[in-house]
């Protein structure tokens, strides 16, 4: 049974310092879980809030978007998850953003709530967005998954939305799209990045071929083991990168995932898609 009080890490003021404090342990409502936080990932939004003073207006704030842990209490109506289940999950605010299709709701003022953040010992999580962990995945590893997997998957498979962040609407492998895009080339800038590695794996599941990526030569073996068919040295001049990529494709290149997004990669992408 969870205690009545817990330790938590608070951001005391805009662009201020973090400090350790205490707060009550919340109780799960219908459709929610109380999860004992075993590991918290460092989502880019977490450090941007602290460094740049964006998104949050009310302080002190309790941050933390990605976590893994064990189920401590189960809310009404939750099935398939029980106490002591190892799980990984985005915080409730992130899940609610996708669930309700609200524009960037997870990073809107006031949505870093003191009940949902990962930077505490016990957090409330929406059960529908919680995944059980196999024994082969550690809790530390699992805490790195939500941001990277979601960034890769939603960009590829989420429904296009003209008024809010959305994807390009490919049919996902888990929705009957496994192998659907066989014979179509894809280019992934930054294949060795955390997001890029998942894009490569999703591309393989979707059937894309060839799967071309840019990375350092030292990452070539890893990326080919994940599904890349060609690895172009990212340190080459842009013109040479464009030439190498063009030599690997025999049909029109229609999809490029830029996990780096700097002026050089964007310009090469524009040139290849032109």
Count CB atoms within 10 A of the CB of residue 250.
8
Between helices 194-206 and 145-157, what is the axis angle to 10°?
A: 40
In this structure, what token pair is assigned to residue 183?
């014979």
Indicate whether 15 belongs to any domain.
yes
- Helix (H) / strand (E) containing 263: helix 263-273
pLDDT beyond 70 at 107: no
**Mean pLDDT value of segment 136-144:** 95
103, 165: one domain: no
Indicate whether 104 belongs to any domain.
yes
- Strand arrangement, sheet containing 131-132: 122-126, 32-41, 66-74, 86-90, 131-132
Note the Cα 61 to chain centre separation in Å: 22
Domain that holds residue 48: 5-143
The CA-based diameter of the chain, rounded to the nearest angstrom, is 63
165, 54: one domain: no
Indicate whether 108 belongs to any domain.
yes
Q: In the listed set 117, 143, 169, which residue is the last one of a domain according to the structure?
A: 143
pTM of the model: 0.84
Indicate whether 149 belongs to any domain.
no
Indicate whether 94 belongs to any domain.
yes
Lowest mean pLDDT among 93-107, 164-178, 191-205: 93-107
Query: What CATH number does residue 233 fall under?
Result: 3.40.50.720
**Number of separate domains in the chain:** 2
**Mean pLDDT value of segment 235-250:** 96
Query: What CATH number does residue 132 fall under?
Result: 3.90.180.10
45, 20: one domain: yes
Lowest mean pLDDT among 91-100, 166-175, 252-261: 91-100
Indicate whether 150 belongs to any domain.
no
In the structure, what pLDDT confidence band is assigned to residue 109 with cuts at 50, 70 and 90?
very low
Indicate whether 82 belongs to any domain.
yes
166, 211: one domain: yes
80, 199: one domain: no
Indicate whether 151 belongs to any domain.
no
Q: In the listed set 108, 143, 178, which residue is the last one of a domain according to the structure?
A: 143
């Amino acid at each position: 049974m969870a205690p009545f009080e817990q330790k938590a890490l608070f951001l005391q003021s805009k662009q201020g310092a973090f400090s350790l404090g205490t707060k009550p342990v919340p109780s799960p409502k219908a459709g929610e879980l109380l999860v004992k936080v075993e590991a918290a990932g460092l989502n880019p939004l977490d450090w941007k809030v602290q460094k740049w003073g964006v998104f949050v207006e009310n302080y002190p704030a309790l941050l933390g978007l990605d976590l893994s842990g064990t189920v401590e209490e189960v809310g009404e109506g939750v099935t398939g998850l029980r106490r002591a289940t190892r799980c990984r999950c985005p915080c409730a605010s992130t899940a609610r953003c996708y669930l309700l299709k609200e524009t960037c709701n997870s990073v809107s003022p006031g949505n870093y709530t003191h009940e949902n953040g990962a930077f505490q010992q016990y957090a409330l999580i929406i059960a529908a967005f919680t995944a059980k962990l196999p024994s082969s995945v550690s809790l530390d590893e699992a805490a790195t998954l939500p941001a990277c997997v979601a960034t890769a998957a939603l960009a590829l498979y989420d429904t296009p939305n003209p008024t809010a962040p959305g994807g390009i609407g490919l049919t996902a492998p888990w929705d009957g799209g496994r192998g659907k895009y066989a014979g179509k080339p894809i280019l992934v800038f930054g294949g060795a990045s955390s997001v890029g590695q998942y894009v490569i794996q999703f591309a393989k599941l979707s059937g894309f071929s060839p799967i071309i990526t840019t990375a350092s030569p030292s990452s070539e073996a890893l990326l080919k083991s994940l599904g890349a068919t060609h690895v172009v040295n990212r340190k080459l001049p842009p013109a040479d990168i464009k030439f190498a990529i063009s030599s690997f494709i025999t049909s029109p290149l229609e999809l490029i995932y830029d996990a780096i997004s700097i002026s050089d990669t964007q310009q090469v992408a524009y040139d290849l898609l032109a």
